Amino acid sequence: MRDAPESAQLIQAFANTVDVETGTDEIETASTFDSWLRERGLLRGPRIDAADHALGLRLRAGIREALGAHVGDEPDTAVQQAASEALRELPVVVTADGHAPGTLVPAPQLSASRKALAALAVAWSELTVTGDAVRLKRCSEHACAWVFWDTSKNRSGRWCSMRVCGNRAKARRYAARQAAGTVRET
Ligand SMILES: [Zn+2]
């Protein structure tokens, strides 16, 4: 199984800036989001402001819902709607300039910070176009919800780790069956 392409790695890192299990968020503030974007070379120039930080969070929430759908979760339409509205602020254009023909890039009139956000949107779109997106999934164990790259041959993975989350889910199903009286203890 090949490694996740660059766009998948970026989207995975972006989606995993929030850690549901520990309740931490690497990009909780405009300032931490600013640093995160700069560390990845996505942002140069003026700092991220509160409005662009809010757009980024909406985009991330939308991506996480889409990746949850890859393990069969029903996406939250309100969250997806908010992401769509954020995307309206982040136009992209087609260019051949130094890129493969038909490549989407952030619109030139955007501010530096919006260009950084639009670059994340482009990476997300690249994934869906190549079909790689289906391997990028949000862990089906909702207490975990970590985004992982599914390396299984038939792309059937549902948990970030079978050892931890897969077994947690199995144990819960077993307990539920036992409570329902379908499993008898000997
Ligand atoms: Zn997990």
Would you list the domain boundaries of the chain? 6-179
Report the separation in Å between the CA atom of 86 and the middle of ligand 1, taken as the mean of its atom positions. 28
Residue 155 has pLDDT above 60, yes or no: yes
Residue 174 has pLDDT above 70, yes or no: yes
Report the separation in Å between the CA atom of 148 and the middle of ligand 1, taken as the mean of its atom positions. 8
75-124 confidence digits (pLDDT tens): 999 999 999 999 999 999 998 778 888 888 999 999 999 999 999 999 99
Q: Report the 3 state secondary structure along the chain.
A: CCCCCHHHHHHHHHHCCEECCCCEECCCCHHHHHHHHHHCCCCCCCCCCHHHHHHHHHHHHHHHHHHHHCCCCCCCHHHHHHHHHHHHCCCEEEECCCCCCCEEEECCCCCHHHHHHHHHHHHHHHHHHHCHHHHEEECCCCCCCCEEECCCCCCCCCCCCHHHHHHHHHHHHHHHHHHCCCCCCC
Report the separation in Å between the CA atom of 110 and the middle of ligand 1, taken as the mean of its atom positions. 37
8-38 confidence digits (pLDDT tens): 999 999 999 999 999 999 999 999 999 999 9
Instruction: Write the class of the CATH domain 6-179.
Output: mainly alpha
Report the separation in Å between the CA atom of 12 and the middle of ligand 1, taken as the mean of its atom positions. 14
Q: Which residue has the higher pLDDT, 101 or 152?
A: 152
